[in-house]
Amino acid sequence: MQEKGFRSWLFLIIENFYGQNSASKHEREVTMENSFLIKTKDLVKTYPMGQTKIFALNGVNLNFMPGEFAGLVGPSGSGKTTFLNVVGSLDSPTEGSAVVMGKKIEDLSHKQAAWLRNRNIGFIFQTFNLLPVYTVYENVEFALLLLKLSPKERKDKVMKALEWVKLADRAKSKPAQLSGGQSQRVAVARAIVKEPSIILADEPTANLDAENSFNILDTMEELNRELGTTFIFATHDGKVIKYLRRKITLVDGKVAKDEVFEPKNVKGEGQ
Ligand code: ADP
Ligand code: MG
């Protein structure tokens, strides 16, 4: 506490000494601006419907810092999947802006969008989306094929990812030989194997029973804590919502609520 006070005090002295109060404030704002991993401004996404259009997103302003464990919640059709698709550079905004890791999604070519995804973004879907003819190992390795890695580097990364999700012993199995819970663990390994900054998970527990849902959520929370990976969920599952440290409620393509919670299992210290 004292040290923190001392630092603020020192900062004030330095700031005043140089007489750059406004300049420093500006600099701090610029730094804040750059420290957002994701920043959307008046984000609009419409889809044509007959003579009219549907506003899947209708002016969404949301910022995410690195390391967040956040979720979009809200009724079906409120724009959760659309938001993840735009931020994940799978789709582009109709109006407004989405800046992801310093890149404006609306300005990216297909190739640049693919590059951003391949390097920095992992996806987890409700239906696992594993390739049935390939083994668990190959399904995870697939995510690395577009990155220029040696076979040895690839193997090390795949095995590490399978260890994270406790499936190293099933590397040679085919998806059909796995349970739903195990399949989703493979999908988590595939998302995390390139160590992306961001993982976007769209209803990841929708096809899992309670026990497997909690297991996969524990794993994702651990990866968030250990690797600092930012997780953004789209969900209406109460089990997922319990784990969130930030809950953003979307209604009709708009942010209705944005709530931040204390991290789970962390006891406040004399506040
Ligand atoms: P959520 O994930 O919250 O259920 P979505 O983002 O999937 O919501 O959808 C938001 C709205 O946009 C819905 O009304 C949906 O019907 C519409 N929508 C989503 N994708 C498309 C599409 N490709 N074409 C037309 N309408 C779409
Ligand atoms: Mg959806």
Q: How far is the CA of 40 from the centre of ligand 1 (A)?
A: 19
Ligand nearest to the CA of 77: 1
Residue type, 110: H
The response to whether residue 67 sits with its C-beta less than 6 Å from ligand 1 reads: no
> Given a cut of 80, is residue 2 above it in pLDDT?
no
- % of the chain beyond a pLDDT of 90: 82
Residues having C-beta closer than 5 Å to ion ligand 2:
80-81
Q: Is 78 in the pocket of ligand 1 (CB under 6 A)?
A: yes
CB-ligand 1 contact for 45 (6 Å cutoff):
no
Residue 134 and residue 102: Cα distance in Å, rounded? 35
Indicate which residue's Cα is closest to atom 22 of ligand 1: 47
What was the pLDDT predicted at 17?
A: 37
- pLDDT above 90 for 270: no
Which has more pLDDT, 37 or 267?
37
The larger pLDDT score, comparing residue 136 to residue 26, is at 136
Q: Is the CB of 85 under 6 A from ligand 1?
A: no
| Mean pLDDT within 187-203 | 97
The answer to whether the CB of 56 is under 6 A from ligand 1 is yes
pLDDT of residue 35: 84
* Domain assignment of residue 24, yes or no: no
- pLDDT of res. 263: 65
Q: What total number of domains does the chain contain?
A: 1
Cα(259) to ligand 1 centroid in Å equals 24
Residue 264 pLDDT exceeds 50: yes
Ligand 2 centre to CA of 155 (Å) is 34
β partners of residue 200: 123, 232
Position 194 scores a pLDDT of: 95
Which amino acid is it at 251? V
> 86-99, pLDDT tens digit by residue?
999 999 999 999 99
77 alpha carbon – ligand 1 mean position (Å) = 5
pLDDT of residue 10: 40
Higher pLDDT, 267 or 127: 127
Average pLDDT, the chain: 88
- Determine the pLDDT at residue 267: 38
> Is residue 27, in this structure, part of any structural domain at all?
no
Q: Which helix (H) or strand (E) holds 217?
A: helix 210-227
In a domain, residue 67? The reply is yes
In sequence order, what are the beta bridge partners of 122?
Answer: 199
User: Does some domain include residue 49?
Assistant: yes
Cα angle: 158, vertex 160, 163; to 5 degrees: 110
- The minimum-distance atom of ligand 1 relative to the CA of 83 is 6
Task: Determine the Cα–Cα distance for residues 192 and 266; give it in Å rounded to an integer.
Answer: 25
Which positions ≥6 away from 74 have C-beta within 8 Å?
80, 236, 249, 250, 251, 256
**Helical axes 180-192 vs 210-227, angle rounded to 10°:** 20
Distance 56 CA to ligand 1 centre (A): 6
Q: What's the rounded Cα separation, in Å, for the pair 240 and 73?
A: 10
At 146 the pLDDT is: 86
Ligand 1 proximity of 77 Cβ (cutoff 6 Å): yes
Give dist(CA 41, CA 203) in Å, integer. Answer: 24
Ligand lying closest to the C-alpha of residue 204: 2
Residue to mutate (ligand 1; options 60, 82, 200, 202; most atoms within 8 A of CB): 82
Query: Atom 25 of ligand 1 has which residue's CA nearest to it?
Result: 47
* Residue 254 within any structural domain of the chain: yes
- Residue 154, domain CATH: 3.40.50.300
Averaged over 127-135, what is the pLDDT?
96
Is the predicted pLDDT of residue 62 greater than 60, yes or no?
Answer: yes
Answer with the residue of higher pLDDT: 268 or 42.
42
Please tell me the predicted confidence (pLDDT) of residue 20: 41
Q: Is the pLDDT of residue 1 over 80?
A: no
**Does residue 269 sit within a domain?**
no
Q: Residue 31 above 80 pLDDT?
A: no
Task: For residue 210, tell me if it sits in a domain.
Answer: yes
Q: What is the pLDDT of residues 221-260, one digit of tens each?
A: 999 999 999 999 999 999 999 999 999 999 999 999 999 9
52 lines ligand 1 (CB under 6 A): no
Domain that includes residue 214, residue range? 36-260
Helix (H) or strand (E) holding 85, with range, is helix 80-87
pLDDT band at residue 6 using 50, 70 and 90 as cut-offs: very low
- pLDDT score of 48: 94
Ligand 1: residue whose CA is nearest its atom 13: 77
